Amino acid sequence: MDHSLVLKLECAGALSATDRQALVEATRRVRSVAARTVVIAEGDKPDQVHVVMSGYLCRAKTVPDGGRQIVAWLIPGDPCDVHVWILGAMDHDLVALSDCEIACVPREVMERLTVERPAIARAFWWSTLVDEGVLREWLVGMGRRPADQRIAHLFCELLLRHQAVGRGLDGVLDLPVTQAELADTVGVSTVHVNRVLQQLREERLIELDGRRLILGDPERLMRFADFDPAYLHLPARA
């Protein structure tokens, strides 16, 4: 019981044993990727679907002044770009935030999977709808929440999403990313991220040493961050 994609998709509803088997088969071909590798670049037109098996990927857009905005984090179990081939070209980059492993599912395999297995098609639909929900919630954060709440909110989200695929159940997450990457995510300067993290540590809301994030009291952090998990559309907690 440890295949992230299966666990993730089962958040949308139970799958049959053969469905699960088909997903495991489809993701057998795995590629290892070093941190900071650009997996898909803006302008590309990929012909396969990627699924994160371990580590973190992100979606990022670059702005003319050299800045960068990260617009999504992908964790194990997350499929990327289930239907990219419908668009002419990628409008952003897909970049490895940490060392990670990525399964590559050719378009034909993907199409067969969704045509022959309605439960899987539906689950992928669910996944993209949730991705949209996450984007909307991030937008709310950017528009209405100060930087400290935004960062806390991100940590809450990462915890719940990891727990949905059987990780971080003890409140501990691997987080091998730099403060600059957090800054690109929450839309503030590196310096300000640093100050905010210190404050969050000060108030004992988080422990973070550069590669491990420990959330000792998630409920308190969620209250601080004004975090309501509804937008993740996860099944009720066991």
Partner DNA sequence: CGGCATTTTGACAATCGTCAATCAGTGTGG
Partner DNA sequence: CCACACTGATTGACGATTGTCAAAATGCCG
- Residues of the shown chain interacting with its own copies in the complex, contacts defined by CB under 8 A: 12, 59, 61, 63-65, 67, 69, 71-72, 83-84, 86-89, 91-92, 122, 125-126, 128-133, 135-140, 142-145, 184, 186-187, 226, 230-231, 233
Residue with tokens 């210190």: 198
Q: Of the two residues 210 and 235, which places its CB atom closer to DNA in the complex?
A: 210
What is the Cα–Cα distance from 72 to 231, expressed in whole angstroms? Answer: 15
| Smallest gap from residue 209 Cβ to its own copies (A) | 26
| Smallest gap from residue 63 Cβ to its own copies (A) | 5
Q: Of the two residues 13 and 210, which places its CB atom closer to its own copies in the complex?
A: 13
What is the Cα–Cα distance from 232 to 176, expressed in whole angstroms? Answer: 23
- In the complex, which residues of this chain contact DNA (CB under 7 A)? 146-148, 178-180, 187-192, 194-198, 210
Q: Of the two residues 72 and 214, which places its CB atom closer to its own copies in the complex?
A: 72
| Smallest gap from residue 216 Cβ to DNA (A) | 18
Q: Of the two residues 2 and 209, which places its CB atom closer to DNA in the complex?
A: 209
Binds 91: which of DNA, its own copies, none (CB < 5-8 Å by kind):
its own copies
Q: Of the two residues 124 and 227, which places its CB atom closer to DNA in the complex?
A: 227
How many helices (H) and strands (E) in the chain? 8, 11
Q: Of the two residues 98 and 163, which places its CB atom closer to DNA in the complex?
A: 98
Amino acid letter, 71? V
Binds 92: which of DNA, its own copies, none (CB < 5-8 Å by kind):
its own copies
Take residue 157 and report the two structure tokens written for it.
Answer: 């989200």
Please, are residues 127 and 82 in contact by the beta-carbon 8 Å criterion? yes
Neighbours of 215 (CB within 10 A): 23
Edge-first strand order for the sheet with 30-33 is: 30-33, 100-106, 48-54, 79-80
With 0-12 CB in 10 A as exposed, 13-18 as middle and 19+ as buried, what is 173?
A: buried
SS3 185: helix
| Smallest gap from residue 212 Cβ to its own copies (A) | 26
| Smallest gap from residue 35 Cβ to DNA (A) | 8
